[in-house]
Each structure stands twice: as structure tokens, then as C-alpha cells.
Amino acid sequence: ATPTSIMVGTGRAAELGILFRKGEALQTLRSAQLVALDKTGTLTEGRPELTDIEVSTGFERLEVLRLVASVEAKSEHPIADAIVAAAEAEGLVRGPVDGFSAEPGFGVIGNVDGRSVLIGADRAMTKAGIDVAAFNTTASRLGYEGKTPLYAAISGQLAAVIAVSDPVKGTSRQAIRALHDLGLKVAMITGDNARTAHAVASGLGIDEVVAEVLPDGKVAAIRRLKSGGRTVAFVGDGINDAPALAEADVGLAVGTGTDIAIESADVVLMSGDMRGVPNAIALSQATIGNIK
Ligand code: ADP
Ligand code: MG
């Protein structure tokens, strides 16, 4: 493309709320074959709500929620906010926490009232030697419903399965349909569990799912998607999306996301509206078309 056509193209894009931080991204985007998107905060609102708690025999629902919310109050994860909000809605008073620690991609742990409270994904429980099989049936049902099942262990005993649900953005489905109409494949990359990821992806018509990716695993996931010379665009919003945004042929950051994601991206979608993704690609194709 000529400098003039790039200027016209990026100008048009800006009117649509799409900021090209690098002019050359307009050309690379034109050859994109696959668009990979982060799930939480990109395809979904990123504001999960607690939907279910099922406790083990001998545990009391509100007491489990109180203990778990006490620990989660120390975490900044959106899942933690959902749990803390649910406890507040029940009028529960959180206890003081010591020995708090968070393991990204796994969960959090801390001591409340002299009891150790662990909450997180099944892999966090497995790592702590806690068997979650008692909740297998419930957890798979929750996953098929597109909810994220989490487990709570109190003093080393499996105490509850807790689900959070993060609504899909209204624009995500339309965006994916438009990407398919432009002839692209669509993938989703997420740290969430596989069943939940597949449920959300199939509702959206997504072609490929990479789930249970640890925070530092997104770069490797992008590399794998790029193999065979496929041109890959990645769309993300979070701190742990930043390296993947840089690794992709074109990185598109959601403008409502974290600063580090925006700084690592070639393109910024000013609003959280996912239709900005096919719009950016359509525009890149039109820009090149104009100067042929
Ligand atoms: P994503 O950004 O895709 O949600 P993360 O790596 O942040 O991925 O989290 C992956 C999984 O780790 C979550 O789905 C959850 O099961 C678990 N997890 C992470 N942080 C917490 C937390 N504060 N409380 C409970 N579970 C957590
Ligand atoms: Mg995200």
C-alpha cells in the first residue's frame, strides 16, 4: 500500500474507533487467516457472577462462602470480585486473613479463623493432593452450562464446588459471523477449563479452542496456531495477553483492557465492541483494494 492509502485507511479506521498504532499492521491484517481471541474480558464481559455453590456433607453453605470470600478479598482476579460480591449480598462479614498467596492460573490460599482455605481450579486441588471426584457430575454439568467450576478446600477437606458465569458480550457472536464471512478461521484461547471453554465456543460458532492455558502459555499457543505459515491475529485485554499480542502477526488490544495489553498491540479497539475486529480486517482489505 502507498503511504497515502495507509493514511486514508487508518483515518477511516479511527472514525470506527479502531486505532492503528502501526501503519504496517493495516497490510499484515489483510493477509490474516486466523483470528484468535482471549475469552475473559474479550469475548465475555469480564465481570463474572457467582451462580452456584454445592457443599460437601458436613459443610454449611454460608460459612463456606464467608471463608472463601475472606481469602478472595485479597485477590484482584475477576472471579474473586464475584465471590466477594456474593458474600456481601448475603450480608456475610469477612474474617481476617493471614498467609495469603495467589498462584496465577490456579487459585488462592490463606488462613481464616485458624483454618486453611484454598480456592481455585481443579488443578489447584490436584496440586494440593485434594481429590475432587465427589463433584465430577456437578462440575461437568456446570461446565456444559458455560459456567466455570471452582473448588474450595477447608483444612485440607473438599468443602464445595462453586460456579461463576461470565456473560458473553452481545457483539461477540456477530463479530465471529462476520469473520467467517470474510473467510477467516476463529480460535479462542483461555485459562478456563476445557468444558466451559468448549461450551462458550460452540455457542459462538468458534472453530478451534485452546483451553486451560497457564498465564505464561499464551505465547506458545499463538506460536502453535502460526505454525505452517498461517497468519494469525490475536485479540486480548489482560496483562497476561501482552506477550501473545506481541507474538501474533497482528495484535489487537481491547481499549477497555489493561495498559500493558494496549502498549503491546498493533491495533487498539477503542470500545469493547468485538465487531471492531472484522471491521478492522474488512478495512485493511478495502484499503489495499483501492490502490490496486
Ligand atoms: P482467564 O484469564 O482465562 O480467566 P486465568 O489464568 O486468570 O485465566 O485463570 C485460570 C483459572 O485459574 C480460572 O478459571 C480459575 O479456575 C483459576 N483461578 C485464578 N485465579 C483465581 C482466584 N482468585 N480464585 C479462584 N480461582 C482462580
Ligand atoms: Mg482477558
Question: Count of domains in the chain?
Answer: 2
Query: Based on the domain organization, do 60 and 120 belong to the same domain?
Result: yes
Q: Are 214 and 191 in contact (CB under 8 A)?
A: yes
Ligand with smallest separation from the Cα of 43: 2
Question: Do residues 39 and 173 both lie within one domain?
Answer: yes
pLDDT at residue 24, as a whole number: 87
- If asked whether residues 100 and 39 sit together in one domain, one would say no
Crossing angle of helices 172-181 and 194-204, in 10° steps, is 70
Same domain, 218 and 132: no
Q: Which of 130, 165, 200 is the last residue of a domain?
A: 165
Distance CA 85, CA 203 (A): 27
232 with 250, same domain: the answer is: yes
Q: For residue 189, what are the domain limits?
A: 3-45+168-291
Q: Which residue has the cell 458465569?
A: 165
CATH assignment at residue 41: 3.40.50.1000
Comparing C-alpha atoms, which of 266, 230, 229 is closest to residue 245?
266
Provide the pLDDT for residue 292.
42
Cα(230) to ligand 1 centroid in Å equals 29
Q: What is the pLDDT of residue 96?
A: 98
Q: Are residues 40 and 172 in the same domain?
A: yes
Same domain, 137 and 27: no
Low-confidence ranges of the chain (pLDDT < 70): 1, 288-292
Q: Give the residue among 208, 182, 209 at the shortest CA–CA distance from 197.
A: 209
Instruction: Evaluate: CB of 272 within 6 angstroms of ligand 1.
Output: no
Last residue of a domain, one of 165, 185, 214: 165
Q: Which of 45, 76, 106, 168 to mutate to test the pocket of ligand 1 (most atoms within 8 A of CB)?
A: 106
SS3 content of the chain, % helix, strand, coil (to 5): 45, 25, 30
C-alpha closest to that of 254 among 23, 105, 48, 37? 37
Residues 41 and 179 in one domain: yes
pTM: 0.93
Asked if residue 238 and residue 129 are part of one domain, the reply reads no
Which residue's CA is the nearest one to ligand 1's atom 26? 120
Indicate whether 74 and 114 sit together in one domain.
yes
Asked if 153 and 111 sit in the same domain, the reply is yes
Dihedral of CA atoms 120, 123, 129, 135 in degrees, nearest 10, equals 70
Asked if residue 39 has its Cβ within 6 Å of ligand 1, the reply is yes
Is 266 an active-site residue? no
Atom number, ligand 1, closest to the C-alpha of residue 102: 23
Same domain, 159 and 173: no
Residue among 115, 107, 110 nearest 150 (CA): 107
**What pLDDT does 288 receive?**
62
Question: Domain end: 109, 137, 165, which one?
Answer: 165
Catalytic hit among 38, 166, 249, 273: 38
